[in-house]
Amino acid sequence: MNVDYLLGLLGGVCIGLASVIALAATGKIPGISGVFGRLFLPQTDDPLWRMILLLALIAGAGAAFLFSRHAVEFAVGGRGLAHFAVAGLLVGLGTRIGGGCTSGHGVCGVGQAQKDSIAATMTFVAAGILTVLIMNRFLGYVS
C-alpha cells in the first residue's frame, strides 16, 4: 500500500481533530485566516492559542517534508519565490473577500452545515479547478 495515501488520511484526521479541539477549547471557529489576522490586532485577548495553532501548522508542514517525497517534489516544482508570493497574496485577498478561508468555511463551517460555508467551499473548489485549467492548458504549467 502506498504510504502517501495514509499520510493524506492522517493529515485530514489531524485537521479535523485539531478543529474540534480548538472549537471546544476556545468556543471559536479555527479558520486560519481569522486566527492569523486577529493575532496581530491590539484588542486580541487570546493570542496564545492562536500562536500555538499556527506553530503546529508549520510543524505539520515540516513533518510532511520529512515523510513524503511528494511534498518535496511539489515545493521544488520549478516555481520561484515570486510565484508563491503572488499566489499567497491572492489567497489572502480571497479570504478577505470570502469572509474566511478553506479551513474556516470548508472544515468547520461545512462540518456544522452552515449554508454560507457550503456555498463558499463550492466556490473555492470551482475557482481552484478553473485556476488549474488555465494554468495548465493556457499558460503551460504542469502540476
- Segment 72-111, tens digit of pLDDT: 666 555 666 677 778 878 888 888 787 878 778 888 888 8
Percent of the chain scoring above 70 in pLDDT: 87
Average pLDDT value over all residues in the chain = 80
CA distance 6 to 28: 29
**Residue 43: predicted pLDDT:** 87
What is the CB-side half-sphere exposure of residue 72 using CA atoms within 13 A? 6
Q: Which band of pLDDT confidence, cut at 50, 70 and 90, is reported for residue 66?
A: confident
Domain that holds residue 21: 3-138
**Residue 115: predicted pLDDT:** 93
Judge if pTM exceeds 0.75. Answer: no
Over range 7-33, report the average pLDDT: 82
Structural domains in the chain (count): 1
User: Could you tell me if residue 49 is inside a domain?
Assistant: yes
User: Could you tell me if residue 133 is inside a domain?
Assistant: yes
CA distance 122 to 135: 20
Lookup: cell for 64:
510532511
**CB–CB of 103/92 below 8 Å?**
no
User: Could you tell me if residue 143 is inside a domain?
Assistant: no
